[in-house]
Structure 1
Amino acid sequence: MSRYQTRFLTRAHAGAELASALHAYRATGALVLAIPRGGVPVGRVVADALGADFDLVMARRIDAGVALDDTGRTWHTNGAQTGSSAGSLRDPHFDQLCRQRAVYRPVRKPMDPGGRVVIVVDDGLVSGATMHAALASLRKRRPARLVCALPIATRAGLDQVRALADEIVCLDTPDRIENLAHFYHEFQLVSDDRVRQLTGMASAPSPLRAGPGAVASVPSLSKAMLIPYGTTRLRAMLESAPNPIGVALMAHAGGAQRRAARSQYLARKLRARGLATMLVDLKPDSQVDDAAASDVDELTARLVQALKFLRAGTPFAGLPVGLLSAGTAAAAALRAAVDSASQAGAIACMAGRPDLAGEAILRRLETPALLICASGNAQSIRIHQLAFEQMHGPRQLRLVPASSCGFDDRKALAEVATLTADWFERHLAQPSRPCLGYSG
């Protein structure tokens, strides 16, 4: 067992908790500046929650206790160096910093921090060098108040930046951090494209949200939730950019660690297409990869409870909902869709067990259903073909080139994401039309 305790589900989750700690700065005209790349998903959530402006502050660590700011000045954690270099390391790192700045800000100028409350955000702090460079460079530009905000940091690292900030807000301060990834359930590399997308959210709304049927005034959100169910709680993560066209409720049952990277990838792809995502673990205490066939009734009840919570406990109550599930949870989704109270507008089952829903349920199903199956798994194909034949409502069966039902290959997973997003767009954005199809 790991000696580390996971503190946050994702960087967006960390941002949501950090925003709560910074609530005093809500609607004050603050400027949130994130350090690329890991700090950007955190800072974006903080800025949206506070109603603040959002931009980047460029800084880069080049050696132990040494970092560069975006002017090329070298800073040590014990103060600014009088010289402009730190040996042979400085020049190549500054070139890289300049290239990043050109990629992230190809046209617009950075926002001026002068005279403003400025909140500097990163996804964590170990030695403090990068944050030290960012704060030191900003202090020279005369902000009215300079706040250092972090989800997690070592006490020694915070000591290195304490003198530069008017206030430090940090959610957790372990004595030692060997790797920030130990404190996040999902800690993938943040790409340059993702940075560009997050910094452009406020000024470049998705065309999917701009049509006459778009829902107005729905906020961006990133929130970890616990859904009450009997004596237990179901873990859920709800994330969205402003004004989504619908919600993709992504349910799985067991195997959370194995499914985490796949689920996060699919969620990011769906959000990029204008959907909010709600990831729900129907069996949070399970240590196996999937639930047993005998658990379908219980999983269905838990999924229906999650749908009710989505309607009653989130800002997205009025949005159409699509269900995306795999394995035994797919049978639960099909059963839940037959329940008139669920009001699901579409279903997508990837490598699922639709047969476990039962023939009677499949024949009654009217919700548009997309069945996605790996082309290299003969047994899974037979299961999906039989379920497809038993259904009478709008449906499609799509075979994705893959040998594994887990769709571990990135190309196969990308196709699953595209198929699901297309299906949800078609059936959530407008009234459903009969749609039958089979594609290999």
Structure 2
Amino acid sequence: MSALPERRLLSLDIEGQRLDGELCLPSGAKGLVLFVHGSGSGRLSPRNQRVASYFHGRGLGTLLFDLLSAEEQAIDELTRELRFDIPLLTARLLGVIDWLAATPTLAPLRLGLFGASTGAASALKAAALRGTRVAALVSRGGRTDLAGEALPAVTAPTLLIVGGEDRVVRTLNRQSGALLRCPHELAVVPGATHLFEEPGALEQVARLAADWFERYLSEAAA
């Protein structure tokens, strides 16, 4: 039986807020995937935890990080406004990316971003601003349209995963894909809706994403 991944709880001061995260590194990790949550989700989301666990089994490290403080999350639950504040979420994400780059034990790991819903827009904007520091990006049911003018500046190979029954977001992702200049693909999970709650749908997402990250985070891709 393979060893369980090393787990480390983090609390970082980013943009004047204390933000919590969980870092998990399997032995000999092929790369590190930073989860970018959106639309009220966070590091404790069962969906995110399931996908992260699958990544560990594929030899990928993960960092699940809340881009809102506990106080901000409480406000957002009432107003639902901060989850759509893409500039705020992007600034927080850039802070985490820069912290990783400045941490000697983590900086050598090639970095992937896994963005969901509105978090995908922040992931795309951050990837555009940090260039080659981001080696790969996957969007799950992402509001990629909210990345706006940043889309043509993204250089990281990007996979857009959408549900076959999530028609509005599927259309938005097709439109976003037309603006990307980096290597990119659109993957449609048949029969899945926005949250991929159908039997087997989230497992398909995890497999597609892990395949993409393994392809672009491996040493051979460096």
TM-score by length of 2: 0.89
Aligned to 2:51: 266
Distance 1:201 1:293 in 2: 36
In the alignment, structure 1 residue 201 sits paired with structure 2 residue 14: no
Q: 1:363 to 1:300 in 2, by over 3 A?
A: same
Aligned to 2:209: 420
Summarize the alignment of residues 375-386 of structure 1 with structure 2, pairs less than 5 Å apart: 375-386=164-175
Shift of the alpha carbon at 1:261? 0.6
Summarize the alignment of residues 16-95 of structure 1 with structure 2, pairs less than 5 Å apart: none
Distance 2:34 2:23 in 1: 9
TM-score by length of 1: 0.46
Shift of the alpha carbon at 1:341? 6.2
Aligned to 1:303: 93
* 1:386 counterpart letter in structure 2: Q
Matched residue of 1:286: which SS? helix
Identity score, percent: 31
Matched residue of 1:270: which SS? helix
Task: Report the number of matched residues.
Answer: 216
Aligned to 1:406: 195
Aligned to 1:283: 68
In the alignment, structure 1 residue 345 sits paired with structure 2 residue 130: no
Higher RCO, Cα 8 Å, sep 6+ = 2
Q: 1:367 to 1:257 in 2, by over 3 A?
A: closer
Distance 2:39 2:204 in 1: 24
In the alignment, structure 1 residue 319 sits paired with structure 2 residue 96: no
Consecutive unaligned residues in structure 2, runs of 5 or more:
none
Distance 2:97 2:208 in 1: 23
Distance 1:250 1:303 in 2: 10
Consecutive unaligned residues in structure 1, runs of 5 or more:
1-196, 203-219, 433-440
- Contact 1:253–1:281 (8 Å) recurs in 2: no
Shift of the alpha carbon at 1:385? 0.7
CA RMSD after TM alignment: 2.2
Shift of the alpha carbon at 1:291? 5.6
Aligned to 2:179: 390
Distance 1:271 1:405 in 2: 24
Aligned to 2:160: 371
Q: Which has the larger radius of gyration?
A: 1
In the alignment, structure 1 residue 248 sits paired with structure 2 residue 33: yes
- Contact 1:327–1:351 (8 Å) recurs in 2: yes
Q: 1:236 to 1:365 in 2, by over 3 A?
A: same
Distance 2:104 2:202 in 1: 29
Summarize the alignment of residues 220-235 of structure 1 with structure 2, pairs less than 5 Å apart: 221-235=6-20
Distance 1:305 1:237 in 2: 16
Q: 1:303 to 1:249 in 2, by over 3 A?
A: same
TM superposition outliers: structure 1 runs of 4+ over 3 Å: 256-259, 287-294
Please point out which of 319, 335, 356 is paired with 2:146.
Answer: 356
